[in-house]
Amino acid sequence: MSSASCIFCKIIKGEIPSFKLIETPLSFAFLDIQPLSEGHILVIPKHHGAKLHNIPDENLADILPVIKKLTKVLKLDENDTPEGTGYNVLQNNGRIAHQEVDHVHFHLIPKVDPKTGLGVGWPAQATDFDKLGKLHKELIEKLEKL
């Protein structure tokens, strides 16, 4: 499924050039043209959909192994300790969540120093077990009906 007006669908079809890295029958990976750090890569499903829930499971299942392969080519897999070089995998849904391109994309963003790469705001709320317990019950009931 493709959208004629979508920039990432055009990239998949080769109508817009890209620095392609990996193509599978279900996914396409290429360099982000405005990287947050060197090696910032986008991995997209070859199925047009704006948000994660719009994408078939088989496309989603294809994407994480592609990202894993890319960690190797970027040598991000060489550090198995918590300190030192790391990376973020990010997938935004909706303008409020910082999505600019309405075709699902996973960012692989190397984090080699505090300045480059993804900066994360994390406005954690205080732990409230009563509230969590109520929410958990509600969600479990809904999950059982899915």
Residues making contact with ligand 5GP (CB under 6 A) = 7, 18, 30-34, 42, 92, 98-101
Shortest distance, position 25 Cβ to ligand 5GP, whole Å: 21
Each residue of 57-92: b (16+ CB within 10 Å) or e? eebbebbeebbebbbeebebeeeeeeeeeebbbeeb
Binder of residue 30, out of ligand 5GP, Zn ion, none (CB less than 5 to 8 A by kind): ligand 5GP
Any contact of residue 47 with Zn ion (CB under 5 A)? no
Spatial distance between the Cα atoms of 19 and 75, rounded to a whole number of angstroms:
19
Spatial distance between the Cα atoms of 98 and 110, rounded to a whole number of angstroms:
19
Q: 13: which 2 tokens?
A: 């079809």
Compare residues 76 and 106 and give the one whose CB is closer to ligand 5GP: 106
Shortest distance, position 130 Cβ to ligand 5GP, whole Å: 35
Spatial distance between the Cα atoms of 111 and 57, rounded to a whole number of angstroms:
29
Binder of residue 88, out of Zn ion, ligand 5GP, none (CB less than 5 to 8 A by kind): none
Known catalytic residue at 98: no
Compare residues 53 and 142 and give the one whose CB is closer to ligand 5GP: 53
Spatial distance between the Cα atoms of 12 and 18, rounded to a whole number of angstroms:
9
Q: Considering only residues 67-106, where is the footprint of Zn ion by CB under 5 A?
A: 103
Which residues are marked as active site?
Answer: 105
